[in-house]
Amino acid sequence: MFTGIVTDIGTVTELDQQGDLRARIETAYDTAGIDIGASIASDGVCLTVIALGDNWYDVQISAETVSKTNLDGWRKGKRVNLERALKVGDELGGHIVSGHVDGVAEVVAVEDEGDSTRVTLRAPADLARFIAPKGSVALNGTSLTVNDVSECDFGINFIPHTKEVTTWGDVAVGDRVNLEIDTLARYVARLAEMS
């Protein structure tokens, strides 16, 4: 489990297709404190550490994960949002995030509003019904509050701090973004279907 509070920006330094995709991610984390088998959310995707070095870790990514996320667009040099798994007693600053991406949204508009940036995204139609104004979503692993919703489009405001400590400062129209809907919204919808 994660909180959607990004704690490092890593860089993809190696990619190797060996049946599954293997990626090396350079990080500022103290890798001496990371165990083989640990989970690290990388752009919102829960990935398992399979090898470690002084300032990097490797992950193995299944074809299923690649097909459901934006990881098919990873290239050497790509910056990615990172978050270590939640430990009992950690502050829950965002919302409960599983790292299981539901689909990929597309950035359809980017507009500066004062010091903040308003980003409009288009969700897949089957996921749009789970997104509500003032609800939570995880986008590329970042816990965010939805400002408004219009059919499949929804808006998010990014304050300067968020743009500095995540990859959201680099956002552009056309970007494909990993979308994880709020777990609570999923269960409420399921209960409504059953009644």
Walk me through the domains of the chain, giving residue ranges and CATH numbers.
8-84 (2.40.30.20), 103-194 (2.40.30.20)
Q: Does residue 96 surpass a pLDDT of 90?
A: no
Helix (H) or strand (E) holding 174: none
Provide mean pLDDT across the span 175-187: 88
Helices and strands (H, E) in the chain, number of each type: 4, 13
Lowest mean pLDDT among 46-60, 76-90, 98-112: 76-90
* pLDDT band at residue 30 under the 50/70/90 scheme: very high
Q: Is 88 exposed, middle or buried (0-12, 13-18, 19+ CB in 10 A)?
A: exposed
Residue 49 CA to residue 84 CA, distance in Å, equals 11
